[in-house]
Structure 1
Amino acid sequence: MIIVLIGYMASGKTSIGKKLANKLNYAFVDLDDVIEERENASVTKVFKTKGEIYFRKQEALYLRELLTTKANTILSLGGGAPCYSNNMDAVLNAENTTSIYLNASIPTLVEKLMKKKAKRPLIAHIETEEAMAEFIGKHLFERLQFYNQAELKVSIDNKSKDEVVDAIVSELF
């Protein structure tokens, strides 16, 4: 089975994905890591040097390849991946695949992203919590139509990573 984790940045797709993979004895794959390995450059550098259109084409190509694996895998997608190139359709139509939206409220995301914004070029320039909330709200509005197509939705609000993993496992099995 392939379990695909989707959600906004800082929703825990990577950290929860690794814990879930460990608990289920599945492989863990982060789509952004695959892109970086194959392109021999960071996601940020690929965006800067080759542009978003090139990045999104490669992202779609690698995603479709990963969706054909027969191994039990937790696959974490970048926050924008479900929103481009019919990627969400590819996930929903892939054999033996379940999609999970790690849902977080705007206040939860603001709290998490204000601490990590220096490492995230897209939001590094945002100074205040109010500006961050406005940015996230606009982005989420654009992305929710894709995120909400996931087969399962699990809230991360006010939960530890272990609690989220347990909630996922109880939903799946």
Structure 2
Amino acid sequence: MQQFSLKSSVVLMGYAGSGKSTVGRLLAQKLAIRHQDLDTFIEEKQQQSITDLFKNRGEIYFRKIENQLLVELLNAGSPLVISLGGGTPCYGNNAELIANSQHLSFYLQANVPTLVARLSNEKQQRPLLAAVEDLPTYIGQHLFEREHYYRTAKHIVSTTGKTPEEVADEIYRFLT
């Protein structure tokens, strides 16, 4: 494998189920740098699950903490692969922070049928999807609303019809 020095972090954004966490872990291994999933980072810092944070403190509190910890990761001293939560770029000034940073951002784009297939078995673990009855319609509408924010990424990579390994390889080839 080619050796090179990554000067900035890689930020992965996209809708829930687009592969951010899985691709992030694989990419970090290839780059030999640390991966940080923002939701996991929030859970560690807050010492409770995202589901419990939403239930006990509400979404506004969650989004405030999410922004603070995103800033912390973006200002980390060494390059990371950062996997954002699906809503992260859509709240506050998060999309602007990422777009105006020196970091390399990638929108992992997936179509609605792919997202529905990936998310149908995970609804109870995802606070914003738990009560949704018509998942395809919900995701289609929600994705339409969020697409603008995701497109602030410097690069777009389709994940539809690709394995996480293929997506990580594609980003790795771009970086090297």
The bucket for the TM-score relative to the shorter chain is over 0.9
Q: Distance in 1 between matches of 2:71 and 2:125?
A: 28
- Listed one character per residue, the Cα deviations across residues 90-115 of structure 1 (whole Å, up to 9, x for unaligned) are 111223x1100000000111111113
2:127 corresponds to 1:124: no
The two structures have a TM-score, normalised by structure 1, of: 0.93
Give aligned-pair identity as a percent.
46
Q: Is the Cα contact below 8 Å between 1:68 and 1:94 reproduced in 2?
A: no
Q: Equivalent residue for 1:107?
A: 113
> 2:143 corresponds to which residue?
140
2:30 to 7, 23, 29: 23
Contact kept, 8 Å, 1:13 with 1:77, in 2: the verdict is: yes
Within 1, Cα distance between the matches of 2:48 and 2:165?
32
Q: Give the Cα separation in 2 of the matches to 1:69 and 1:121.
A: 28
For 2:25 and 2:128, the matched residues in 1 are separated by 24
Contact in 1 for aligned 2:54/2:127 (Cα 8 Å)? no
Contact 1:101 1:153 in 2 (8 A): yes
Q: Following TM superposition, by how much is the alpha carbon of 1:46 offset from its aligned partner in structure 2, in angstroms?
A: 1.0
Cα contact 2:30–2:172 (8 A) shared by 1: no
- The residue type paired with residue 155 of structure 2 is L
> Is 1:55 aligned to residue 62 of structure 2?
yes
CA RMSD of aligned residues (A): 1.2
Q: How many residues align?
A: 169
Q: Secondary structure, in 3 states, of the residue corresponding to 2:78?
A: coil
8 Å CA contact 2:9–2:82 kept in 1: the answer is yes
Name stretches of at least 5 consecutive residues in structure 2 with no aligned partner.
1-7
Instruction: Give yes or no for the alignment of 1:7 onto 2:10.
Output: no
TM-score normalised per structure 2 = 0.91
Does 2:78 correspond to 1:75? no
Question: In 1, distance between residues paired with 2:9 and 2:138?
Answer: 31
